[in-house]
Amino acid sequence: MIVISTSHLSEHDCERLGDSNPDYENAEIRILEHEYGFILTGFLHEDETDEEYANHLVSRGFTREFADLVNLLKLHGAQWINFDIDGPEIDELPTYEW
């Protein structure tokens, strides 16, 4: 599991992850909300390129930056991603203040 700061999520994507009536279930991403953020899993697709998966997330209302971040973390071996308020910030990645 890769743990990363929620500061790497835009306000829009954070709201989208916490959406109580999601229409992105077909994105095959599992989102577990917890007190300090979100845990994501279920985004391994053997038959989809990273670009196709990113486009799929964008079509479900996520930003391109979020889709690219998920793909980057997948490339680094993530099968689970924990976006946590106390998680580390990665200097090379954009952060959002909201």
In a domain, 89, yes or no: no
Q: Is 93 contained in some domain?
A: no
Domain that holds residue 17: 2-84
Task: Give 93's Cβ-side CA count (13 Å radius).
Answer: 20
94 domain residue, yes or no: no
4-48 residue pLDDT tens: 999 999 999 999 998 855 554 555 678 889 999 999 987 666 677
Asked if residue 23 belongs to a domain, the reply is: yes
> Mind listing the pLDDT tens digit for each residue in 35-86?
999 999 876 666 778 888 888 889 889 999 999 999 999 888 888 999 999 9
Q: How many domains does the chain have?
A: 1
Amino acid at 60: R
How many Å separate Cα 56 from the centre of its chain? 13
What order of strands is seen across the sheet that includes strand 37-41? Answer: 2-5, 80-84, 37-41, 30-34
Q: Is the dihedral of CA 65, 49, 45, 61 positive or negative?
A: positive
Per DSSP bridges, beta strands 37-41 and 30-34 are antiparallel
